[in-house]
Every structure is written in structure tokens, then in C-alpha cells.
Amino acid sequence: MTGPSEHTAPVATTRPKASAPAANRPIVDYALLLKPRVMSLVLFTGYAGLALAPGSIDWLTGLLAVIFIGLGAGASGAINMWYDRDIDGRMERTMQRPIPGGRLRPEAALVYGTVLAIVSVVGMAIWVNAAAAALLALTIAFYVFVYTIWLKRRTPQNIVIGGAAGAIPPMIGWAAVTGDVGLGALVLFAIIFMWTPPHFWALSLYRSGDYENAGVPMLPVVSGETETKKQILIYTLILVPITVAPVPIGMTSVWGGAAIALFGLNFIRHAIRVRRAEGAEAPRKMFRYSILYLFLVFVALLADHWIGALV
């Protein structure tokens, strides 16, 4: 890992985009450190865990739980950007992030992320419960120390193992209501955990040059496109049955499970197309659909839950 001076260009050399006036640029950059797209998914799945959990929670405690989940996700993103500033600067997809773009100093991102991590965990412990706080602390520590620092630069299995961090938020939401982790929370964890590899490997297929330039051992770089496509299909075929597991455990109805199965069949169709196709178009389409797919699975679970409550 190189020193801060190797990652930070003078602020005066970076021209702010027209959509972000110079006076507001620091605010925008601090928001970007939180990885808002990732945070939005974490907030949604965390809320889903809270809504699907048995029992009840008052609206203020539930709102605070979701806010702290979001702050914890943002903290992880900021610390990740601090640590990965060297490889971010060598990847086209990430070279304009606030640190490699020269708009924020690395130390500011580290302090920012650390403060948010502490606030999120302590706040969760005080205003929600200890179980949710412990899971949130585990999520942040796993993402920072296990995925970012240990796995990402060392093994093509970085996404497989590291995906656990992104799969814990619905368990946190569940624990906010129940104070523990039940079977339903584990099923939600398994859905996201198994979804993560095909989702990220589809991205890495058409961004493999970026990862190779940065020295990140993503599966297409280490094992080639053919093996990556094979693994995408295998994980997708395992994932789809897991997504309908909420039916036999009573978390959703047969109708909800049927809708989820239909979404899954389309995901399998994308995986088969990636396996057979050449070029970047099929992986790009699968990556985009994978985001929609996870969203639809959780929307189906929530909609079925709400309909069942009304009936």
C-alpha cells in the first residue's frame, strides 16, 4: 500500500462537473464516499428484514434501525475507498472517485468512515438493541478487514466470501425486531449471499481489463472467461431454488413464491446467454438485470407479506 501523497492530486487541478458547483462539491464528494448505490440496496434489504420479521416494532425505533444500517454501510464504503485508493486510480470505472480524483484527502475519508461506523454501532446499541448492533459491527468489520484488506487482492474467491458482508443487513433488520436471528433471517442472508457472485462476475466479465490493470484477482482475470461463465451459471442454478425457500418456511405464500420463481427463470435465461455468448453485451445485460432481480425478489416478499397482513 502506498502513501497518501501518491493518491492525492492538488485540488486546484480537478475541475468540478457542471452539475456540482464548486461550493457544493465537497458535500457531493463526501456523499459519494458512502457509495450511495450500494447504500440504497443495503437500506432496502435491511428494511425488508425488519418488515418480514415476526413481531412488531414502533415506527421510530424501526426508522432509527434503518438509518443506522445505512450509516454503517456508508462507513464501510468510505473506509473501503480510503484503502483502495491506489487501485481505484488505475481503474476506469473508479478513477474519478473523490480520492483518486484528487478532491478529498485519504485521511479525511478514513476519519469520516471511522466516525460513522462508531456512531452507527453505538446508536444501534442504545436506541434499538444489542443483537442488531453486534450484527452491524460484524458487517462493517467483515467488509473492511476480511473483504477489503484480506480477500480482495489475494483470491478470486473474494466476491464469494466477501459477499457475506452484503448479505447481513436483512439479518440486522430482523434482529432489530426480534432481538435474535431466526430461520427467516438466515434464508434472506442466503439469497443475497448466493446472488452476489453471479452479480459481480457478470460485471467483471466486461470490466476484466480494469481489474487486470489494478492487479485485482477477479475470476475472469485468474481463471478466464469460460470458467467464469460456468461459475455464473452454477451459482445462478443454486440461487433460484433458495429464493423460493420462504414458501416452505411460511414467510411467503405459494403465489409470492411463484412470482419469485418466474423472476429466477429469467435470471437463469441471462446466465445461459452469458455462457453461450461472446463479447460484453450479454454480461452487461445480466449485470443490469441482476440488480432488478434482487429488488423484485424482495418486493415480492414484502408485497405478499403486506397483502397477507391486510387479508
> Residue 311: which pLDDT band, with cuts at 50, 70 and 90?
confident
pLDDT tens, residue by residue, 132-143 = 999 999 999 999
Report the percent of the chain where pLDDT is more than 70.
92
Total count of residues recorded for the chain: 311
Q: What is the pLDDT of residue 22?
A: 53
Whether residues 212 and 125 fall in one domain = no
Domain's final residue, options 134, 159, 181: 181
Whether residues 148 and 222 fall in one domain = no
Whether residues 147 and 289 fall in one domain = no
**CATH, residue 297:** 1.20.120
Q: Residue 220: name the closest of 280, 288, 156, 273 by CA.
A: 156
Distance CA 157, CA 147 (A): 10
6 belongs to a structural domain: no
Q: How far apart are the first and last CA of the chain?
A: 57
> Residue 16: which pLDDT band, with cuts at 50, 70 and 90?
very low
92 belongs to a structural domain: yes
The answer to whether 194 and 239 are in contact (CB under 8 A) is: yes
Whether residues 247 and 119 fall in one domain = no
Question: By residue range, what is the domain housing residue 71?
Answer: 24-181
Domain's final residue, options 181, 199, 227: 181
CA 42 to chain centre: 6
Give the pTM.
Answer: 0.90
Task: Share the mean pLDDT of the chain.
Answer: 92
pLDDT tens, residue by residue, 172-210 = 999 999 999 999 999 999 999 999 999 999 999 999 999
Report the percent of the chain where pLDDT is more than 90.
90
1 belongs to a structural domain: no
Distance CA 64, CA 119 (A): 12
Q: Structural domain tally of the chain? A: 2
- Quick one: average pLDDT of 93-105? 94
